[in-house]
Amino acid sequence: MNKTSTPLPELNPLPELPARKIPFEFPNDINPHWNEAKPEWSHMVNGASVAMPFLEPYLIRTMRRALDKIESPQLKKDVKGYIGQEGQHFQQHRKFNNILIENGYQELVPIEEQMKKEFDDFEKKRSLKFNLAYAAGFETMALGIGHWLIKEREILFGNSDSRVASLVLWHFVEEIEHKNVAIDAYNAVFGHYFYRVFGIFYATLHVVKHSRKAYKAMLVRDGLWGSLASRWKLQKMIFRFLKNMIPSMLEGCLPTHHPSKIKDPKWSVDWIEKYHNEDGAVPLINTQNLSAPTP
């Protein structure tokens, strides 16, 4: 039974959540500074990517555990769609992360091992309530990141390697697409408002902690961590991230918050439409013309 003290929105059926596959590969010649004009930003994204092969399988397993406790057939269907999409995400990030390691960033290996241990411990030692709150909290953060990446895509991805830009933007278009699922699952099984808010801050700080370890290790390897000019560029990018994320997170903390109330960016809607017109192939984004969803 739902235990929240605030009324929940009625579940609106989501469109199908297909597990899209990307047709392009990640060859070893991809430059870890995939945005050559912004190596600090490149490594911030790389650091977040390092977390995905551990975070997303954990989210998948958590949502599978919740399935038996969910009564709504529609929500069960949405959860299965969510699982399919997240499964594609972490597999592609695993391929990309292998390239980072093969390009000399061996320091990422112990960071990966620590992440695996922590997510394994969450499953073994924490309750389903904690794990579902973490999932809902992460998806609250991911929704805000998705809106930011799309809004500032020309600044963040302009003239960058189209394969990496496509990986990241494809990922977050789908985060926007399945934005309701984790919070609906949490509300259906538990629904405690304050614990959901706790999940937002816990998941955000946990992912940011490991992402920072990873991008710091890469910047140290590049000799940029000790450069005042590089650190200033990094701080400006972190400030840009926080400026866009804090309002989104605060909105997510409202008792009346539900992602369905947040309008999807037109660019992401156009991207999805373009995908359906491409015979099942995720379009490779043209980073020379980011005003359009695809070439």
Any idea where the domains of the chain sit in the sequence? 39-276
- CA 129 – CA 195 distance, rounded (Å): 9
Specify the pLDDT at position 23: 75
pLDDT digits (tens, 9 = 90+) for 125-167: 999 999 999 999 999 999 999 999 999 999 999 999 999 999 9
Specify the pLDDT at position 13: 56
Specify the pLDDT at position 22: 79
Look at residue 264 and give its three-state secondary structure: coil
- CA 73 – CA 81 distance, rounded (Å): 13
pLDDT, mean of residues 250-263: 96
HSE-up of residue 169 (Cα within 13 Å, Cβ side)? 34
Q: What topology does CATH give the domain 39-276? A: Ribonucleotide Reductase, subunit A (1.10.620)
Closest CA to 140 of 188, 204, 92, 58: 204
CB neighbourhood size of 208 (10 A): 17
Specify the pLDDT at position 8: 47
Specify the pLDDT at position 265: 96
- CA 225 – CA 227 distance, rounded (Å): 6
pLDDT digits (tens, 9 = 90+) for 25-78: 788 889 999 999 999 999 999 999 999 999 999 999 999 999 999 999 999 999
